[in-house]
Structure 1
Amino acid sequence: MADQSRMTLLLPSRLWRRGVLLACLLLAVPAWSADILLTAAEDGAGVQAFTQALAQQRPDDQVSFTPLKDLPAPSQLPAGTRLILLDLPSLDWRLLDTQGPPTLVLRISRLQAQQRLGNTHPSKISLLWSDPPLERQLRLVANILPQARRIGVLYGADSEFLLHELIELATPLGLEIVPQLWDNTSDSRPLQTLFKNSDVLLGLDDPQLYNPKTVKNLLLSSYAQQLPLIGPNAGFVRAGSLASTYSDQPDWLAVLDRLLDHPPANWPHTLYPQHFKVVGNPQVARSLGIEQVDESAVAARLAQGEKRP
């Protein structure tokens, strides 16, 4: 009887301890985990490295990559999936179906979106821009070339839609946009006209104007006129332009991490990466007689001056 009484007393104590242990385990497990699916037409080492980096960053979620050719129609994917598109073919596939899960389109340029979507914006699709924000590029000019006032801008039929926004952004900074149509990249006369009326050239992310075929003419002309070229991207800086802002893989992972922490209903229609860096070309600076760009210091000044939501 004594043993039975002792067991009767111990039983509630054991149950209480088990209840506490169970509660602790439940608190340690996330309340929910997301099913994150990445896709692209090509499955290369870069894609796999990006997928693995995102999976390591979000260990509580189910992160996977499936080649585009192996996916069903978007409407046949589970509604709870969070879909991340890594290239333009996957966006074209997604646009074929008005139904489908919430979708983040990674690294698409303003021009590419304009060509595919015009002024429309499909529901449940968020576009994460790859080209540097126009305002950030203008403020980069103001930081590293404070004497420059006339900003020459080459544009084509595809990039003309950016001019109005560019002019609106430049005015509060005390800058004047000098636009020049360049519809025939074999003709250097528009370049010469623009260079004569500008203090600096700002490159738009328009592959019809800035590409391997035009780079030599553009850069040699800018050197001849002692006119710096800003942008249009980090690759062009390596080729010979003065400087640009850009976002790299860690910056994009930070953007995704922040967005994936929120319900898809709260995702913005469009977004530039908040995190970015500045790259400069010291050799170009020396050849133009310009002070070398202090990349970290300039990036910090630009970030400090940007408005945050």
Structure 2
Amino acid sequence: MGDSSRMTRSFINTLWRRAALLVCLLFAAPAWSADILLTAAEDGAGVQAFAQALAQQRPEDHVTFTALKDLPAPSRLPANTRLILLDLPGLDWRLQDTQGPPTLVLRISRLQAHQRLGTTQHPRISLLWSDPPLERQLRLITGILPQARRIGVLYGAESEFLLPELRQHATPLGLEIVPQLWDNINDSRPLQTLFRNSDVLLGLDDPQLYNPKTAKNLLLSSYAQQLPLVGPNAGFVRAGSLASTYSDQADWLGVLDRLLDHPPANWPSSLYPEHFKVVGNPQVARSLGLEQVDEASVATRLAEGEKRP
């Protein structure tokens, strides 16, 4: 009986130790969660919706939003914070301090980053690009306009740096980049020159060239010359260009979810979202005598092409 009693007590003690260990692990779980701070200069409905969506996606983390005006200098934030900037004023504020927590920057274009950083990289900042990848846009052209070979590209002083990369991506696709400087948006002659020498116009995400003031001239000239305009973004497709690739809020939340699962030391210096969609304008396609863009099918083919080594 004595041996049986000792064995029973030993078994019970083992169970208690295991239960205590489990309780300790459960109480220690929050140590694995992250403090995620989102900020922007404007605290609008869209920003709040994005912050709430991220919080719902990562319930184990502590996700908060604080307006930029209410934040201290970046170096005074806790080092273990994971900072997410949602607009350009936030980036300008962050760049004033070489110290501070690891930072993800959303809603920034290649041109906007180039204006602020040039070719340098901030060691604590990762840039998540808002404009479509140039290679993806070129492959979109080959998918919906297979006969197009001469790709007309308007550029300005701020966007000229993108031309070498465009040529690099165009060559393997058998495409020729036809660049045209447009340094005076009130002068239509560069447009006419470019249209005469191109099969399609690819818009760069340069707000000096593609904006509400220039849209009418660009689009009417495109229709008059029967020359499609692809890009520069989903908004311009709604205004009257033929098609573009783009990433929406769900795509960006997916990017953030994956990055936040990894230590900030493993974050890339810059990144395009892996997931994306295609938007086309059926009315524009009809006016140019082209087939309507099958958005889902084209997006699938582009994604499959990017997955190939």
Give the TM-score range, shorter chain: over 0.9
Query: Equivalent residue for 2:196?
Result: 196
Query: 2: distance between equivalents of 1:95 and 1:125?
Result: 9
Q: Look up the SS of the partner of 1:126 in the other structure.
A: strand
Structure 2 counterpart of 1:131: 131
Cα distance in 1 for residues equivalent to 2:9 and 2:47? 55
Match for residue 20 of structure 1?
A: 18
Structure 1 residue 25: deviation in Å? Answer: 4.8
Secondary structure (helix, strand or coil) at the match of 2:289 reads coil
Identity among equivalent pairs (%) = 79
Aligned CA-pair RMSD: 1.9
Partner of residue 280, structure 1: 280
Of 22-31 and 149-158, deviating more is 22-31
Q: How does 1:174-193 map to 2 (within 5 A)?
A: 174-193=174-193
Is the counterpart of residue 109 in structure 1 residue 109 in structure 2?
yes
1:121 Cα deviation (Å)? 1.0
Q: Distance in 1 between matches of 2:289 and 2:52?
A: 44
The gaps in structure 2 that reach 5 residues or longer are none
Alpha-carbon distance between aligned partners in 2 of 1:287 and 1:22, rounded to the nearest angstrom: 72
Matched residues, number: 307
After superposition, where does 1:44-123 map in structure 2 within 5 Å? 44-123=44-123
For 2:114 and 2:307, the matched residues in 1 are separated by 25
> 1:259-274 maps to which residues of 2 (within 5 A)?
259-274=259-274
**Cα distance in 2 between the residues matched to 1:231 and 1:19:** 63
Task: Give the 3 Å change call, closer, same or farther, for CA 169–192 of structure 1 in structure 2.
Answer: same
Question: Greater shift after overlay, 239-248 or 16-25?
Answer: 16-25
CA, structure 1 residues 300+23, in 2 after alignment: closer, same or farther (shift >3 Å)? farther
Q: Can you list the C-alpha shifts for 1:99-149, whole angstroms capped at 9, x where unaligned?
A: 001000112100000100111111111000000000000000000000000
Aligned to 2:34: 34
Give the distance between the partners of 1:23 and 1:210, measured in 2 at CA.
Answer: 61
Give TM-score, length-normalised by structure 2.
0.94
Question: 1:236 matched to which residue of 2?
Answer: 236
TM-score by length of 1: 0.94
CA distance in 2: counterparts of 1:308 and 1:131, whole angstroms: 23
SS in 1 for 2:36: strand
Letter in 2 for 1:139: R
